[in-house]
């Protein structure tokens, strides 16, 4: 619920949650800084692949904040916000749905206890990666793109980026670097689900 409120309050320039009609300030600032940091990390990583003349050369997160606002205005901090939200939705859908299904299948196969929890979380980590990578790819392309020599941007929107990527490389183009992405995403998903499982069991055992 808190994450939903924070996203809505960022979208609404008044900082008002459209469901409760209450002023929400801290979550909106948190979401703004979170989006800025994600944008900063993507662009710093992309700098290493660009010619020296095309690099942004951010010295640190604070320098990137001032540079983005100076060059693109406040709206520049929200570059890639749409695909970032969709990526998070896809990741959580793949992770949570497959974890529950994997638990049922492993239990039916006679696997129980810690082995079931670990095995289900590993399967969920794979699906979390598979579901979210296409959206992560589009998000990264949008956040790191720079104007072409004629001043136009390579992509006009996330949909435009997805369509051009598909036209150039087919569906597998969205899965470039999947092994590396899996190694980054799967451990996080597995730890989240393992801790969630034990916390839920502890709450049930103690009457919460």
Q: What confidence score (pLDDT) does residue 25 get?
A: 47
Specify the 3-state DSSP secondary structure of 173.
helix
Alpha helices in 79-112 (DSSP H): 81-108
pLDDT > 50? residue 2: no
When mean pLDDT is compared across 18-32, 52-66, 158-172, the lowest value belongs to: 18-32
Q: What confidence score (pLDDT) does residue 147 get?
A: 82
Check residue 174 and report its DSSP letter: G
Q: What confidence score (pLDDT) does residue 5 get?
A: 33
- Considering the entire predicted model, what is its pTM? 0.66
- Tell me what the mean pLDDT of segment 143-148 comes to: 82
Give yes or no for a contact between 69 and 94, defined as CB atoms under 8 angstroms apart: no
CA distances from 105 to 59, 71, 92, 116, 123 (A): 50, 53, 20, 9, 11
pLDDT > 90? residue 78: no
**Strands, E assignment, 145-197:** none
When mean pLDDT is compared across 17-21, 171-175, 183-187, 195-199, the lowest value belongs to: 17-21
HSE-CB at 38 with a 13 A cutoff on CA atoms is 24
């Amino acid at each position: 619920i808190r994450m939903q409120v924070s996203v809505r309050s960022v979208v609404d320039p008044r900082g008002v949650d459209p469901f409760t009609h209450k002023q929400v300030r801290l979550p909106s600032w948190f979401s703004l800084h979170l989006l800025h940091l994600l944008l900063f990390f993507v662009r710093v990583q992309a700098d290493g692949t660009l010619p020296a003349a095309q690099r942004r050369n951010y010295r640190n997160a604070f320098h990137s904040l001032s540079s983005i606002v100076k060059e693109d205005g406040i709206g520049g901090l929200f570059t890639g916000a749409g695909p970032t939200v969709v990526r998070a939705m896809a990741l959580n859908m793949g992770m949570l749905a497959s974890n529950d299904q994997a638990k049922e299948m492993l239990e039916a196969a006679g696997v129980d206890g810690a082995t079931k929890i670990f095995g289900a979380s590993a399967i969920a980590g794979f699906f979390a990666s598979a579901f979210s990578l296409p959206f992560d790819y589009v998000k990264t392309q949008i956040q790191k793109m720079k104007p072409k020599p004629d001043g136009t941007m390579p992509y006009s929107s996330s949909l435009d980026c997805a369509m051009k990527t598909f036209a150039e490389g087919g569906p597998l183009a969205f899965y470039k670097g999947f092994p590396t992405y899996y190694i980054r995403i799967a451990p996080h998903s597995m730890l989240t689900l393992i801790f969630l499982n034990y916390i839920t069991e502890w709450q049930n055992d103690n009457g919460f």
